[in-house]
Amino acid sequence: MRKLISCEEAVKKIKSSSRIMVGGFGLVGCPLSLVDALVDSQIKDLEIISNNLGEPGKGLGVLVRQKRVKKAIGSYFTSNPEVVKAFQDKELEVELVPQGTMSEAIRAGGAGLGGFYTPVSVGTKIAENKEERILNGKKYVFQEPIKADFALIKAKKADTLGNLIYNKSARNFNPMMATAADIVIAEVDEIVETGQISPEEIVTPHLYVDFIVLSGGN
């Protein structure tokens, strides 16, 4: 299977200063084996696009603790007090994007759209320096699409081609991220033969997936 590689091989494809999308909501749906491989590497100065940056000492939180994340783009960072402290100490740049807006911006990036107007965040600091427009008497702000060099995503199962299905709420941002990065690396719990996943079940077609790693794989 050409797409199946180890976590170590996957991480070797990533360079310092890369812009990386990482799936997950908290630690649910986060590709933790790939994140652990990042931790074991020497890669630094990363720009991470994720709903949050793990928990203290867990998941992406380890990279924050090691001061290897330069910028974070996401929605909910206060669950990890170490992210807050790193921001206050000016060790970490943070760009807040409302959760639904972030999801749609990633989808727009994957669809090749130039962005969209949303009423979310109008009148707040998040909207500062963004283009505003009145549409049908209502104020909107312009949101640019979000794309990345790499997407590290988590799925429940892949077939040998790389078609993916997800596990309930662990699906979260992963399918959108798979469309919006130059290189997509999917961590999966199980790999089956092509044809063992019904076409009606497939959420992420194999054409979006460049490489697959098994959870817990080295």
- 60-101 pLDDT per residue, tens: 999 999 999 999 999 999 989 999 999 999 999 999 999 999
Please give the Cα distance from 38 to 50 (Å, whole number): 15
Residue 218: pLDDT band by 50, 70, 90 thresholds? very low
Assess whether pLDDT exceeds 70 at residue 37. Answer: yes
Distance CA 123, CA 12 (A): 43
**Model pLDDT for residues 147-156, shown as the tens digit of each residue:** 999 999 999 9
The predicted pLDDT at position 60 comes to 97
Strands (E), 104-202: 116-118, 132-135, 138-143, 148-159, 164-165, 181-192
Residues linked to residue 212 through DSSP beta bridges, in sequence order: 4, 186
Candidates 3.40.1080.10, 3.40.50.2020, 3.30.230.10, 3.40.1160.10; correct CATH number of 7-97+146-214? 3.40.1080.10
Mean pLDDT in residue range 156-179: 97
Q: Say what percent of the chain tops pLDDT 70.
A: 99
| Segment 99-141, tens digit of pLDDT | 999 999 999 999 999 999 999 999 999 999 999 999 999 999 9
As a whole number, the mean pLDDT across the chain is: 96
Across the chain, the runs of DSSP E, i.e. the strands, are 19-22, 46-49, 69-74, 93-96, 116-118, 132-135, 138-143, 148-159, 164-165, 181-192, 211-214
Give the closest residue to 62 by CA, choosing from 89, 88, 90, 34.
34
Give the span between the Cα atoms of 186 and 208, in whole angstroms.
10
- Give residue 216's pLDDT: 81
User: Which residue in 148, 211, 152 sits closest to 29, CA to CA?
Assistant: 152
Binning pLDDT at 50, 70 and 90, where does residue 2 land? confident
d(CA 101, CA 104): 5
| pLDDT of 21 above 80 | yes
Q: Does residue 84 sit in helix, strand or coil? A: helix
Q: What is the pTM of this model?
A: 0.95
Local structure of residue 166 (DSSP, 8 states)? -
61 Cα distance to chain centroid: 14
The residue length of the chain stands at 218
- With 70 as the cut, is the pLDDT of residue 56 above it? yes
